[in-house]
């Protein structure tokens, strides 16, 4: 069964939660002939890439920042440009639960406001047993409406 996600809320939550995490704990890479200056960070089996104030295409008139997320094994599951926010790629899956868990741990007030959670829902997410695969109370936060992810 696939779940419907509030993609804009997830994108906003990712920007507000992951960008500070990447900047604080990630590694900064200087620009090269091939890549712009960017930040990388790996946590929880996910690779995060943050590019700040770049011109993604010569025809663009303003600078953008981009946040990309990849699982350790596999292709890109999420990409968002921001300032202003534009969702580029969204493939739902366990990374959404992972993001909600990180947000509830680091910025619970933001997670609750962005996703309309109550404190009990955030507490349930952050207290799940780490050694039980698939034991993710965050599954209930996505809703049960079948649809495209």
- Burial of 52-85, coded b for 16+ CB within 10 Å and e otherwise, reads bebeeeeeeeeebbbbbbbbeeeeebbbbbbeee
What would the two tokens of residue 112 be? 């609750």
The predicted model scores a pTM of 0.74
- Residue 121 reports pLDDT greater than 60: yes
Longest dimension (CA), the chain: 49
Q: Rounded to whole angstroms, how far apart are CA atoms 117 and 141?
A: 8
Of 1-10, 75-84, 119-128, the range with the lowest mean pLDDT is: 119-128
Identify which of 64, 66, 67, 89 has the alpha carbon closest to the alpha carbon of residue 77: 89
Q: In the prediction, which pLDDT does 144 show?
A: 32
The phi and psi torsions of 15 (rounded to 5 degrees) equal -65, -50
For 16, which DSSP code?
H
State which H helix or E strand residue 102 sits in. helix 94-106
Contacts with 126 (C-beta within 8 Å, 6 or more apart), sequence order: 101, 104, 105
What is the C-alpha separation between 16 and 11, in angstroms, rounded?
9
| pLDDT, tens digit, 9 for 90 and up, residues 63-119 | 889 999 999 888 999 999 998 899 999 998 889 889 988 888 888 887 777 777 666
* Average confidence score pLDDT of the chain: 79
């Amino acid at each position: 069964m696939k779940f419907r996600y509030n993609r804009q809320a997830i994108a906003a939550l990712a920007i507000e939660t992951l960008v500070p995490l990447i900047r604080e704990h990630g590694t900064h890479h200087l620009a090269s002939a091939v890549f712009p200056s960017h930040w990388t960070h790996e946590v929880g089996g996910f690779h995060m890439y943050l590019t700040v104030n770049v011109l993604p295409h010569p025809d663009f008139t303003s600078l953008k920042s981009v946040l990309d997320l990849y699982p350790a094994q596999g292709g890109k599951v999420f990409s968002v440009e921001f300032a202003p926010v534009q969702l580029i790629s969204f493939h739902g899956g366990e990374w959404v639960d992972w993001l909600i868990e990180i947000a509830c741990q680091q910025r619970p007030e933001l997670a609750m406001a962005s996703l309309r959670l109550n404190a009990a829902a955030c507490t349930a997410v952050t207290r799940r047993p780490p050694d039980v695969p698939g034991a993710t109370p965050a599954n209930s936060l996505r809703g049960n409406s079948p649809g495209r992810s």
